[in-house]
Structure 1
Amino acid sequence: MVNPLRDLPAIDELLRWPELAAVLARVPHRQAVVVARREVAAVRAAVRVGSALPTRAVWVARLTQALTGALRPTLRRVVNGTGVVLHTNLGRAPLDPATLAAVVAVAAGYSTLEYDVVTGHRGSRQEAVAERLVEVTGAEAAYVVNNNAAAVLLMVDALARGAEVVVSRGELVEIGGSFRIPEVMAKGGAVLVEAGATNRTRLADYQVATSERTVAWLKVHQSNFRQVGFTGQVPVAELVAGAHARGLWCLEDLGSGCLVPPATLGLAPEPTVQEVVAAGVDLVCFSGDKLLGGPQAGILAGRRELIERLAKDPLARALRCDKMTLAALDHCLRAYLEGDGWHRLPPLAMLATPLATLAGRARRLAARLRKAAPGLTVRCLRVDSRVGGGAQAEVALASWAVGLRDPERSAAALSAWLRGGEVPVIGRIESDELLLDCRCLLGGDARVISDRLAAW
């Protein structure tokens, strides 16, 4: 029996095919070799389990697609038609143009990252953004690391390594990607002591769980899930008073870290960072790229002496942010000092968009798509958006979407076609209808969608 693997084309042979000359002219030869080897290896594996060898035409189509894909950046802009504002897989919070300009200004050349222009000596990369955080939150001091899990890790390592920290059983959360609060605390060297029950924890439970080795009580905000029914957790003010009465620190992982009243964004009640600081929590940590509306960062705010301890911890350098993150965060924070300036932050503006505005946006998009793709059935419909990013998991935001159907092809095929464009369009499918929620659409997105559908 003839082994079909003997008929696999050699790499140099493939790269000499005239049908590939046009795309190969745009791809560096070294990269083209890597792509060709990967495709040949994939075909070899498929043939070994019974697949037939591709025809020359299939080879050309496959390699053209792979080589064209190699020209694209690894990270690309997409159109978010899912209705999930802080979509983790799509990069969470988009930044506003002014913030982007601030990032470009420091990234394109040299900057004052760690230089004091007044003294002419070395400065601190934390100082400027920390001052801004103090102004916004009302805390004594602040510190920034690269994400909120890092903030929890640094807080535990600097303040509780080798000691006990009491946490309610109802707050032993998984923050995503299989990373759990108990594991983060163990990595920081703390001994976790559970208090209360999964659904109810009282102040007395914290007191019973406290020993001479305890240094802190930690409250973890239930941002990515909600408990209902016979439930109860200790209010933060009571927790602060109880901890301080025993000479302990009260720490809080606030998760999403909202800096404006949630009701102004159409969200369910939850404490803002300012309220937690005012309640007397010794140290609170939260994310920069969730309800704050900025870049990925982990922010710690609270008592000056504790922030100084964090800054001296060896982990602080390993977890520090770069100049682009600090520039973006600093500029985003300015918005909160401008009254209603937070409206210029895209995620917050999306959350606060009135339903009537979304309905108008949907009608205009639908009219455009009917012209671009007359073979599709296009309609406007009421849907629910989500906050995303592990924030306000139970909140459904009333929104409007454009629904697309092809009488001859599936919604899955239509969705794959939109994802395959130069700028991928990401929607969601319900009842074999592709929905494009209008809440998260940015300027120029409607044109991207219509141009892609015009070729459907």
Structure 2
Amino acid sequence: MRPPSVDTLARSLADTGLPHPLLVDAARRAIADGSPEVVHERARHHAHAAARALLQPVVNATGVLLHTNLGRAPLAVAADAAYSNLELDLASGRRGSRHAHAAALLARLCDAEDAIVVNNGASAVLLVLAALACGQGAVVSRGELVEIGGGFRVPEVMEQSGANLVEVGTTNRTRLADFASATQNPAHDTALALKVHQSNYRIVGFTEVVTVAEMASLDVPVVADIGSGLVDAACPWLADGPPVWLVGEPAARQSLADGAALVTFSGDKLFGGPQAGVIAGRADLVQQCARHPLARALRPGSLVLGALQQVTLAYLRRDGPAIEFWRMASLAVASLQSRAQAVVGESGVGELAEMASVPGGGTLPGAAIDSCGVVLDGDHTAALRAGTPPVVARVSDGRTWLDMRTVAPGDDQHVIAALKALG
């Protein structure tokens, strides 16, 4: 039995909706697999696999609000095909700056003199070090020389920036005197002191750290990489103020008020926006970063800046529910219990269970947010992911857990359908 031609086989897959070149790839793979009698079945399998590999919406039932594998903060972005005044001053008609929109609003929000936006949090740290400390010393506590997801290591970023790493203190204890001794040592030619968010780990027990307010007494600028992007510890955008699980998290406004010359943070973590990096603080230092050649290589485009502007305006309106992360994080457990009960009742699968959501995204290690969801015996995660849309759950103690806090209310019916399909 001879296999069909590649073109004929590819055309038979047109109902999948994939572009013809991708169907040709699927057809060729199927023919190369051999077994002509099942070539059509194999080709459809390869086409389906290609479609599943594309970016697509998923239902997050893991209970991890900022799930890095799922894009961190969920964000609704809708934009018509249109030009924007990205670098046009509408008042004068002359060339403007892409930092005059979202970045200016962020500066206002953080109570900073100025701000610029780059394409992620690591880029913000890299640019600050390259612009302000290339060839000079940057003093960091040994307890803050972190590695986070994806192999991002602070010492390696410093090396790429051209800054000279000056380590002070020990892993568990660093004092202000350690910083002062290093910054006053002419051999280090210190340009700045860097305080780094410890991200997804904590050191507890016999410890000592130096606060931003204490570091502000040094004779060099202090740069606070607060990482997770909490804007204001008071959370004025939430009707009930800051939740208990947020206590102790560094915030941009307070870090600048305590004397940090600059703060850097991510846009897609606690800020609840798109992937971006923000540098905010003293105008002269921000402009020094903006003039550095790397700033052009690291700058975001109009779609990111537009989304960031949208989220920042919601903060300035103190409209927490308009920011999806904060809407999810603030849901009452009673409402989650009601939705979970409805899912169990309509699907006839699983049982109601108390759960603990986590912020995720390398923020607030150990923090837990009371939640509620559905649990069923066995590991059903692969079957749930195979649905349309995929439902991503978690497994613990041999059971599958679906946390309703991270499931958008409009996706409840998808969860019900996915559970029914388990049989």
TM-score, normalized by the shorter chain, greater than 0.5? yes
RMSD: 2.2
Count residues with an aligned counterpart.
412
Map 1:183-202 to 2 at 5 A. 183-202=156-175
Moved more, 156-165 or 124-133: 124-133
Q: Does 1:33 align with 2:6?
A: no
- Between the aligned partners of 1:137 and 1:429, the Cα distance in structure 2 is 39
- TM-superposed deviation, 1:78: 0.1
Q: Assess if the C-alpha contact under 8 Å between 2:158 and 2:165 holds in 1.
A: yes
Equivalent in 225, 232, 241 of residue 253 of structure 1: 225
> Within 5 A, what are the aligned runs for 1:15-414?
16=8, 21=12, 23=14, 26-39=17-30, 43=33, 56-57=37-38, 59-71=39-51, 74-96=54-76, 100-101=77-78, 104-105=79-80, 108-210=81-183, 211-212=185-186, 213-241=189-217, 243=218, 246=219, 248-261=220-233, 264-267=242-245, 268-339=247-318, 341-370=319-348, 376=349, 378-405=350-377, 411-412=378-379, 414=380
Task: Give, in whole Å, the separation in 2 of the partners of 1:334 and 1:389.
Answer: 23
CA contact (8 A) 1:166 1:192 kept: yes
Is the Cα contact below 8 Å between 2:142 and 2:171 reproduced in 1?
yes
Q: CA deviation at 1:388?
A: 0.6
Secondary structure of 2:12's partner?
helix
Q: 1:362 to 1:266 in 2, by over 3 A?
A: farther
SS at match of 2:123: helix
Query: Is contact 1:218–1:253 with CA below 8 Å preserved after alignment?
Result: yes
1:357, CA displacement in angstroms? 2.0
Residue 112 to residue 29, structure 1, CA distance change in 2 (3 Å): closer
Change (3 A) 1:111 1:54: same
**Which amino acid is the alignment partner of residue 445 of structure 1?**
D
Change (3 A) 1:88 1:28: closer
Secondary structure at 1:177 match in 2? helix
Check conservation: 1:24, 1:67, Cα contact below 8 A. Answer: no
Q: Secondary structure of the equivalent of 1:94?
A: coil
User: What is the identity, as a one-letter code, of the residue corresponding to 1:354?
Assistant: A
Return the alpha-carbon distance in structure 1 between the equivalents of residues 35 and 244 of structure 2.
54
Q: Normalised by the size of structure 2, how large is the TM-score?
A: 0.91
Measured after TM superposition, the shift of residue 292 of structure 1 is 0.6
1:420 and 2:386 correspond: yes
Equivalent residues of 1:164, 1:193 under 8 A apart:
yes
Q: Name the CA shift for 1:60/1:338 in 2 (closer, same or farther; >3 Å).
A: same
Identity %: 42
- Residues 331-373 of structure 1 deviation map (CA, whole Å, 9 limit, x = unaligned): 101112123x122211111112222222222112211221xxx
How far apart, CA to CA, are the structure 1 residues paired with 2:375 and 2:419?
13
Deviation at 1:173, TM superposition (A): 0.6
Please tell me whether the aligned partners of residues 264 and 352 of structure 1 are also in contact (alpha carbons under 8 angstroms). Answer: no
Once residues 17 and 37 of structure 1 are traced to their aligned partners in structure 2, the CA distance between those partners, rounded to angstroms, is 9
Change (3 A) 1:29 1:143: closer
CA distance in 2, matches of 1:364, 1:148: 40
- Post-superposition Cα deviations, 1:399-439, rounded to whole Å, max 9, x if no partner, equal 1110124xxxxx33x32221112211000112332111001
Q: Which has the larger radius of gyration?
A: 1
Q: Secondary structure at the match of 1:276?
A: helix
Aligned equivalent of 1:440:
406
Local SS of the residue matching 1:227: coil
CA deviation after TM superposition for structure 1 residue 16, in Å: 4.3
Unaligned runs of 5+ in 1: 1-6, 44-52, 371-375, 406-410
The C-alpha deviation readout for 1:288-321, integer Å capped at 9, x for no partner, is: 1100111111000010000110111000000001
CA distance in 2: counterparts of 1:22 and 1:297, whole angstroms: 39
| Counterparts of 2:403 and 2:171, CA distance in 1 | 36
Tell me: CA distance 1:250–1:398, structure 2 relative to 1, closer, same or farther (3 Å). Answer: same
Q: Which amino acid aligns with 1:436?
A: L
Give the 3 Å change call, closer, same or farther, for CA 56–266 of structure 1 in structure 2: farther
Matched-pair contact (CA < 8 Å) for 1:266–1:351: no
SS state of the match for residue 223, structure 2? Answer: strand
Tell whether the 8 Å contact from 1:358 to 1:399 is kept in structure 2 after alignment.
yes
- The answer to whether the Cα contact below 8 Å between 1:23 and 1:67 also exists between their aligned partners in 2 is no
Note if contact 1:157-1:189 (Cα within 8 Å) is conserved in structure 2: yes
> What is the CA–CA distance in structure 2 between the aligned matches of 1:260 and 1:218, rounded to whole Å?
20
1:109-150 Cα shifts (integer Å, max 9, x gaps):
111111111101111111122221121111111010000100
Partners of 1:166 and 1:71 in 2: CA distance:
48
